[in-house]
């Protein structure tokens, strides 16, 4: 994970500089045996800590699902990869046990995406899903959208998140 994080530093810095549409553009993961780039040993500015703003439980666009998220890293540290757990229920609160999903995050005000492609990697049971590869490159208002399929249901679940 650390190796991957270091490998992502350069593109992240480029993203910060450009602040343009770079949604979901992730550099290919380096093999674990690849040495860290020399630049990674240079002095780095201290990582900024920001508070994961109150993330209200959300209702999906067509009201088929409700969801809430918890973060493995709280406060969130800018530019640090971490995981989320999504708890997913039906509209009446029953856990959704067998869902698949894709995830996309963006800052609407800046028209750019996240520096990573978060993925649901494990169904934890009871309506909980592990989301790996969450990373933010700056504070401010983010929207993270889960496009969820469960059985014949397909719906978008969007969380508005202010990192400040």
| 110 binds Cu ion, rule: CB under 5 A | yes
**Which residue's CB is nearer to Cu ion, number 6 or number 110?**
110
DSSP assignment of 52-100:
B-----EE-TTSSEEEEEEESSSSEETT--EEEEEEEEETTS-B--SEE
- Environment class of 50 (CB within 10 Å of its CB; exposed 0-12, middle 13-18, buried 19+): middle
- Which CB atom, from 53 or from 64, has the smaller least distance to Cu ion? 53
Q: With CB under 5 A, what is the number of residues at the site for Cu ion?
A: 3
Rank residues 52 and 99 by Cβ distance to Cu ion and give the closer one: 52
Per-residue interface string for the shown chain with Cu ion, residues 137-156, x marking contact by CB under 5 A: -x------------------
> Which residue sits closest to Cu ion, CB atoms considered?
110
Q: Among the candidate windows 36-44, 74-82, 136-144, 154-162, which touches Cu ion by CB under 5 A? A: 136-144
According to DSSP, the β-strands at 76-77 and 65-71 are: unpaired
Chain-centroid distance, C-alpha 47 = 18
Counting contacts by CB under 5 A, is residue 107 touching Cu ion?
A: yes
Sole window of 28-36, 47-55, 103-111, 116-124 interacting with Cu ion (rule: CB under 5 A): 103-111
Stretch in the footprint of Cu ion (CB under 5 A) among 20-28, 54-62, 65-73, 107-115: 107-115
Cα–Cα distance between 20 and 56 in angstroms, integer? 28
Q: What radius of gyration, in Å, describes the C-alpha atoms of the chain?
A: 16
Output the six-digit token pair for 110: 């800046």
12 binding Cu ion? (CB under 5 A)? no
Alpha carbon of residue 76 to chain centroid:
11
Candidate ranges 41-49, 62-70, 83-91, 106-114; the one touching Cu ion (CB under 5 A): 106-114
* Chain positions contacting Cu ion, by CB under 5 A: 107, 110, 138
């Amino acid at each position: 994970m650390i190796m991957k994080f270091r490998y992502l530093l350069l593109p992240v810095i480029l993203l910060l500089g450009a602040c343009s549409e770079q949604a979901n553009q992730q550099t290919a993961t380096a093999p674990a045996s690849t040495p860290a780039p020399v630049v990674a040993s240079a002095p780095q500015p201290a990582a900024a800590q920001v508070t994961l703003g109150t993330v209200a439980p959300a209702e999906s666009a067509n009201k088929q699902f409700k969801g809430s998220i918890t973060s493995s890293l709280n406060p969130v540290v800018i530019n640090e990869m971490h995981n989320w757990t999504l708890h997913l229920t039906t509209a009446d609160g029953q856990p959704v046990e067998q869902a698949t999903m894709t995830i996309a995050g963006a800052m609407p005000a800046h028209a750019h995406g996240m520096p990573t492609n978060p993925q649901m990697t494990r169904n934890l049971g009871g309506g909980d899903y592990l989301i790996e590869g969450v990373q933010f490159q700056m504070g401010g208002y983010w929207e993270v959208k889960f496009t969820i399929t469960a059985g014949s249901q397909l719906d978008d679940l969007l969380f508005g998140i202010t990192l400040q």
